[in-house]
Structure 1
Amino acid sequence: MTTTLESPVVPRHGRDLVSPELFEKVSEFCAEEYGHELPTARRIVDQALAFLKVMGDSRAFDMTPSAAVDPGWHSFVLHTKAYATWCDEQFGFFLGHEPGTTVRTRPLIGSVVNRVRAAGFHVDERLWGTAKTCNPPACCGDGDGC
């Protein structure tokens, strides 16, 4: 009988979907524009990139980022040329960010987190408001029960 050891699956990171230079540029913008420390902005942009990849690949336009992750998307989309090129390379279409009336609820955000995780990405639970230790005012502030 042969025993094989399975290697642990290492989650992907959103930051790996863009060049290191673009990741830093967008992260620095996010930090300055939204008043975050740079390490926090990097976490936000990483999660936004993973979210965008899942949404675009699956064309799941019912997805919404948490309030904490949304500034990462805003920061990237404001680098319009780089964002448009990335969208075209990744999906073959521009993934627009239209303001919606979606109310961010815990079940909706939980569904998004599950989809991002199922796609093999690392999920920063604190930024999505799904961490067990996430309690107001320290967490995302999305929806009821956060």
Structure 2
Amino acid sequence: MTVILDRPATTPRTLISPALFDRLTARIAGDHPAHAHQAELIMEQALAFLATCAANPTAGLGPSDTVDIGWHTFLMYTREYAEFCQRVAGRFIHHQPDDEIGESGTGGSLAVTMAAMEAAGYRVDPMVWPTAAECSSGKCNQCYAGCSDSPKKAVG
């Protein structure tokens, strides 16, 4: 995997309008009450993840289960999501489920994704990303979250 060092000039939150950010976080809080207290953090980390996917189009990066909530939420706002993808990535960032969850599928390990996010200049918040120790000890099932930005499935 090649990680492109592309330092963002903005924080993840500023990748979308404040009004859209508020709509998305309200949707997360409403649809996922157990995560309502983390709605803003989830969305910020989802945006950072997506921007990292944009900068690393062949890496097949995958989100944690919690960050995937933000991605799924954004996907429901199809027009806004498509515009974001075009503006940030120059392409649509496909959400490709991996039918081989727990295997080495397209999503790769979270450690690779987190390293790519940090290399891109984004802060990785441990509240929504498990630590390597948690994954390697079998305490989580998020090492292969089951969804990735799959370059294999991308349509030009």
State the TM-score bracket (shorter-chain normalisation). 0.7 to 0.9
- Alpha-carbon distance between aligned partners in 1 of 2:44 and 2:140, rounded to the nearest angstrom: 16
Q: Which moved more, 1:86-95 or 1:35-44?
A: 35-44
Q: 1:63 aligns with which of 61, 64, 77?
A: 61
Rg: which structure is higher? 1
> Which amino acid in the other structure matches residue 125 of structure 1?
P
Match of 2:110 in 1: 109
- Kindly provide the CA deviation profile for residues 7-64 of structure 1, in whole angstroms up to 9, marking residues without a partner as x: xxxx963212111111111111111112245440111111010000011121035111
TM-score, normalised to structure 1, is 0.76
**What secondary structure sits across from 2:31 in the alignment?**
helix
Question: Is 1:31 matched with 2:32?
Answer: no
Cα contact 2:110–2:143 (8 A) shared by 1: no
Cα contact 1:15–1:23 (8 A) shared by 2: yes
- Alpha-carbon distance between aligned partners in 2 of 1:24 and 1:67, rounded to the nearest angstrom: 21
Match of 1:127 in 2: 128
Q: 2:88 aligns with which of 90, 97, 116?
A: 90
**What secondary structure sits across from 1:65 in the alignment?**
coil
Q: 1:91 to 1:143 in 2, by over 3 A?
A: closer
- Alpha-carbon distance between aligned partners in 2 of 1:131 and 1:40, rounded to the nearest angstrom: 21
The answer for unaligned runs of 5 or more in structure 2 is: 1-8, 145-156
Q: 1:93 to 1:124 in 2, by over 3 A?
A: same
Match of 2:42 in 1: 44
- Kindly provide the CA deviation profile for residues 62-85 of structure 1, in whole angstroms up to 9, marking residues without a partner as x: 111011110000000111010011
Q: 1:120 to 1:45 in 2, by over 3 A?
A: same
- Kindly provide the CA deviation profile for residues 104-133 of structure 1, in whole angstroms up to 9, marking residues without a partner as x: 68x81111111101111111112110187x
Amino-acid identity (%):
31
Match of 2:19 in 1: 21
- Alpha-carbon distance between aligned partners in 2 of 1:24 and 1:130, rounded to the nearest angstrom: 28
Q: Report the count of equivalent residues.
A: 129
Question: Is 1:73 matched with 2:71?
Answer: yes
- Alpha-carbon distance between aligned partners in 2 of 1:62 and 1:100, rounded to the nearest angstrom: 11
